[in-house]
């Protein structure tokens, strides 16, 4: 690629390439340098054949059969690999549900009058969710309902008389039966995480298939955590509606106080955005044109979806936002924040502000956030950025002139509202009819992260390009959405170029019915990583409409550049929901032929879903297309 500074093997995003070159010229060590220094990575870990779960270990099993074929305790390769995978699912579930629990506590404090800076922004959603949870709504105030809903949410974490309600009420009736028959309905979200830790302890579960089923059940608990996260965030901060904005490093402004919110939970970032809008005067007094909030990773998606805040960059390139030298503060909560940001920040003079007790980073400034004093704490962090701006004045900065138009904000409610403009009586009919007629061949969800092992965004963009041309309706979440937005896949102007004729006609018809003066964007942005729940909600709505279960739909998912254990737990619930789920990097399971076989084939007989591991985006897209066709044939289409 011309003008890529030789960095196209690291990132396919030209803005990121520019910053990698700058980092190299300044001798700033970044993720790509650390990755190179880490080579070669350990083959035992890579194949899942390393166990450190007890103090007799570490144990490694020789995949070539020359050395040990069992751990010291006698665990086989199958058991070792299944245990490792289970712990990854448990970690991912703990993280998503930790995010949801934080929201539940915020809702509770708000309802009890202890968190005055939070209100119910979407009363209709509060009522809809509460009805689903069997909480009375008639004649009750927002706060009364919210109090009950928050308590119901918190109750879902432990064992109780009912199963996890955020799992049992969000899938199709048939799916509840499938999951019940397989023993995959979670008892409590924390219960399942805790049980995985128990059963993977020294000398407990030593049956690989039993371990994998427990992993899937924990995956269903992860769906509950994600779904709850989305529901409660929508209630507290508003359900997203379509919004026009921009993405990439060019959204930073040289003359403004640039603050990046990075991490996941809108409990912090949404407040930051609100408070920042009231602090323009202080910014101007400091000599700036104003405050420019930008997002990184999923909390960026949260504030983009609800407020149109631009996304600065995502995932693997988070250090590159700092390399511009234009960020005055990076305010983080938790998850996916590389500790290395403090080292890069030190080189360029940005202040990293940590805000959560569970996520402190040595070298960062810590401002402990609390829901009770949310606005005050948000103001305190913004003040840090304003002070830092005075230091930055007259120092050289490099903001790549690269910005991509983005239309985001496609909650399920927003999608249904847009479809109602086409058919008010029967909103899903236009989509389902087009699926039946073949104008829409199927649906694909892109989710997950950017992995340093893949040239950034390459797998997402290569696959999306192919699927869109083949008329696959495509939605995206998390840093997968981030990748695709930075490459123009959420710009309606690119529909002509990217989409096949059938899909183009559908996107245009919906866009025109909504007076957008053009089509919807080629790919619909559903939100952050917890918002994979929105994809499930959409699939369930279509399945209910067709009167089939989700494992019959021509719907597939892809975590094309996955990193986090959260991506593993999402994959687990996608498979439990019956979706063929592509992963574009290697999962640490190849050391066990049995586990590999179960995940990629045998589980299909149980849930209908299964993993497709393919590191080549071209052939991965082909595989997804043939799976979509197989599903269409199954439906008689």
Partner 1 sequence: MAQPKEIFVRLDRCMGCHSCELACAVEHSQSKSLYSAISEKPTPQSRVYVEWVPPDNRLPVLCRHCEDAPCMHACICGAISRTEEGVVMTNADKCIGCWTCVMVCPYGVIGRHLQEHKAYRCDRCPDLEIPACVNSCPTKALVYRTVDEFSKDVRRVASREMLSGEGG
Cβ 56 to partner 1, closest distance in Å? 15
Our CB check for partner 1 shows the closer of 77 and 296 to be: 77
Cβ 40 to partner 1, closest distance in Å? 5
Q: Which residues of 337-367 are buried (b: 16+ CB within 10 A; e: fewer)?
A: bbebbbbbbebbebbbbbbbeebebeebbee
Cβ 586 to partner 1, closest distance in Å? 6
243 contacts 305 by C-beta, under 8 angstroms: yes
What's the full length of the chain, in residues? Answer: 637
Cβ 338 to partner 1, closest distance in Å? 21
- Kindly list the residues in this chain that would bind partner 1 in the complex (CB under 8 A): 40, 42-44, 46-47, 60, 62-67, 586, 590-591, 593
Cβ 451 to partner 1, closest distance in Å? 16
Cβ 129 to partner 1, closest distance in Å? 44
The span from the CA of 505 to the CA of 292, in Å, is 37
Our CB check for partner 1 shows the closer of 530 and 590 to be: 590
| Lookup: tokens for 359 | 């996520």
Q: State the DSSP string of 552-595.
A: GSSEEEEETT--SHHHHHHHHHHHHTT-EEEESS--TTTT-HHH
Our CB check for partner 1 shows the closer of 40 and 636 to be: 40
Cβ 597 to partner 1, closest distance in Å? 11
Cβ 585 to partner 1, closest distance in Å? 11
428 contacts 545 by C-beta, under 8 angstroms: yes
The three-state secondary structure class of 404 is strand
Our CB check for partner 1 shows the closer of 136 and 593 to be: 593
Our CB check for partner 1 shows the closer of 231 and 561 to be: 561
| Lookup: tokens for 247 | 């993405």
Our CB check for partner 1 shows the closer of 46 and 383 to be: 46
Our CB check for partner 1 shows the closer of 186 and 591 to be: 591
The three-state secondary structure class of 612 is strand
288 contacts 250 by C-beta, under 8 angstroms: no
The span from the CA of 332 to the CA of 200, in Å, is 32
The span from the CA of 382 to the CA of 96, in Å, is 27
Cβ 593 to partner 1, closest distance in Å? 7
C-alpha distances (whole Å) from 454 to each of 2, 17, 435, 563, 627 are 20, 14, 32, 11, 24
Our CB check for partner 1 shows the closer of 521 and 591 to be: 591
In terms of DSSP bridges, do strands 50-51 and 59-60 run parallel, antiparallel, or are they unpaired?
antiparallel
Cβ 42 to partner 1, closest distance in Å? 6
Cβ 60 to partner 1, closest distance in Å? 6
The three-state secondary structure class of 475 is strand
- Which helix (H) or strand (E) is 626 found in, with range? helix 617-634
* Count of other CB atoms within 10 angstroms of residue 161: 5
The number of angstroms, rounded, from the C-alpha of 466 to the middle of its chain's C-alpha atoms is: 22
Radius of gyration of the chain (CA): 24
| Lookup: tokens for 261 | 């919110």
| Lookup: tokens for 593 | 């032929």
Our CB check for partner 1 shows the closer of 44 and 191 to be: 44
Cβ 65 to partner 1, closest distance in Å? 6
3-state secondary structure 276-302: HHCCHHHHHHCCCCCEEEEEEHHHHHH
365 contacts 384 by C-beta, under 8 angstroms: yes
In terms of DSSP bridges, do strands 472-477 and 291-296 run parallel, antiparallel, or are they unpaired?
unpaired
In terms of DSSP bridges, do strands 351-354 and 327-332 run parallel, antiparallel, or are they unpaired?
parallel
Contacts with 508 (C-beta within 8 Å, 6 or more apart), sequence order: 495, 518, 519
Our CB check for partner 1 shows the closer of 254 and 586 to be: 586
Our CB check for partner 1 shows the closer of 65 and 636 to be: 65
592 contacts 208 by C-beta, under 8 angstroms: yes
Our CB check for partner 1 shows the closer of 62 and 501 to be: 62
The span from the CA of 130 to the CA of 90, in Å, is 27
Alpha carbons within 13 A on the beta-carbon side of 224: 34
Our CB check for partner 1 shows the closer of 60 and 403 to be: 60
61 contacts 49 by C-beta, under 8 angstroms: yes
Our CB check for partner 1 shows the closer of 560 and 590 to be: 590
Our CB check for partner 1 shows the closer of 3 and 65 to be: 65
Nearest to 344 by CA among 23, 21, 6: 23
Cβ 458 to partner 1, closest distance in Å? 19
Cβ 562 to partner 1, closest distance in Å? 16
* Count of other CB atoms within 10 angstroms of residue 398: 15
Our CB check for partner 1 shows the closer of 45 and 500 to be: 45
3-state secondary structure 319-381: HHHHHCCCEEEEEECCCCCCCCHHHHHHHHCCEEEECECCECCCCCEECCCCCCCHHHHHHHH
The span from the CA of 464 to the CA of 471, in Å, is 10
Cβ 212 to partner 1, closest distance in Å? 19
Cβ 615 to partner 1, closest distance in Å? 9
* Tokens 């004729």 -> residue: 501
């Amino acid at each position: 690629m011309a003008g890529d500074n030789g960095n196209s093997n690291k990132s396919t995003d030209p803005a990121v390439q520019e910053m990698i070159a700058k980092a190299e010229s300044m001798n700033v060590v970044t993720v790509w340098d650390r990755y190179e220094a880490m080579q070669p990575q350990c083959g035992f870990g890579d194949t899942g054949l390393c166990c450190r779960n007890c103090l007799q270990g570490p144990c490694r099993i020789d995949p070539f059969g020359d050395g040990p074929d069992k751990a010291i305790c006698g665990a086989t390769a199958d058991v070792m690999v299944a245990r490792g995978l289970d712990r990854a699912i448990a970690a991912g579930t703990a993280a998503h549900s930790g995010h949801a629990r934080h929201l539940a506590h915020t809702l509770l404090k708000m309802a009890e009058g202890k968190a005055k800076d939070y209100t119910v922004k979407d009363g209709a959603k509060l009522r809809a969710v509460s009805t689903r949870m069997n909480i009375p709504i008639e004649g009750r105030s927002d706060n009364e309902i919210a109090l009950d809903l928050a308590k119901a949410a918190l109750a879902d974490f432990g064992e109780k008389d009912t199963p996890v309600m955020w799992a049992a009420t969000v899938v199709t009736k048939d799916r509840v039966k499938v999951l019940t028959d397989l023993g995959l309905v979670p008892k409590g979200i924390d219960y399942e995480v805790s049980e995985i830790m128990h059963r993977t302890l020294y000398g407990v579960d030593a049956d690989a298939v039993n371990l994998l089923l427990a992993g899937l059940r924990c995956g269903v608990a992860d769906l509950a955590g994600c779904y709850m996260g989305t529901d409660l965030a929508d209630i507290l901060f508003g359900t997203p509606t379509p919004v026009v904005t921009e993405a990439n490093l060019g959204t930073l402004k040289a003359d403004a106080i640039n603050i990046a919110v990075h991490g996941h939970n809108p409990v912090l970032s949404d407040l930051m955005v609100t408070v920042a809008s009231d602090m323009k005067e202080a910014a101007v007094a400091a000599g700036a044109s104003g405050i420019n909030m930008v997002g990184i990773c999923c909390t960026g998606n949260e504030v983009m979806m609800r407020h149109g805040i631009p996304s600065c960059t995502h995932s693997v390139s988070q250090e590159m936002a700092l390399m511009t030298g234009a960020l005055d503060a990076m305010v983080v909560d938790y998850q996916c924040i590389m500790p290395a940001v403090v080292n890069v920040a030190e080189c360029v003079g940005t202040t990293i502000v940590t805000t959560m007790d569970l996520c402190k980073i040595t070298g960062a400034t810590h401002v402990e956030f609390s829901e009770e004093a949310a606005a005050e704490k948000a103001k305190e962090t913004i003040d840090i950025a304003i002070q830092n701006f005075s230091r930055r004045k007259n120092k050289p900065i490099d903001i790549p002139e690269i910005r991509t138009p983005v239309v985001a904000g496609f909650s399920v409610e927003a999608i249904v509202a847009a479809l109602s403009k086409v058919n008010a009586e029967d909103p899903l009919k236009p989509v389902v009819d087009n699926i039946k007629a073949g104008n829409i061949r199927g649906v694909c969800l892109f989710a997950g992260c950017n992995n340093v092992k893949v040239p950034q965004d390459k797998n997402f963009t290569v696959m999306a390009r192919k699927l869109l041309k083949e008329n696959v309706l495509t939605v995206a979440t998390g840093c997968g959405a981030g990748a695709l937005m930075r490459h123009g896949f959420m710009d309606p102007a690119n529909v002509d170029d990217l989409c096949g004729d059938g899909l183009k006609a559908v996107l245009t018809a919906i866009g025109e019915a909504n007076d957008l003066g053009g089509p919807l964007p080629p790919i619909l942005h559903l939100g952050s990583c917890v918002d994979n729940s929105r994809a499930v909600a959409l699939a369930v709505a279509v399945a209910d409409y067709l009167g089939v279960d989700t494992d019959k739909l021509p719907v597939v998912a892809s975590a094309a550049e996955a990193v986090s254990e959260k991506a593993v737990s999402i994959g687990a619930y996608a498979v439990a929901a019956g979706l063929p789920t592509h992963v574009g990097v290697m999962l640490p399971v190849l050391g066990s032929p049995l586990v590999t076989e179960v995940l990629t084939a045998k589980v299909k007989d149980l849930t209908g879903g299964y993993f497709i591991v393919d590191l080549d985006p071209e052939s991965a897209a082909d595989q997804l297309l043939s799976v979509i066709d197989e599903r269409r044939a199954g439906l008689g289409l």
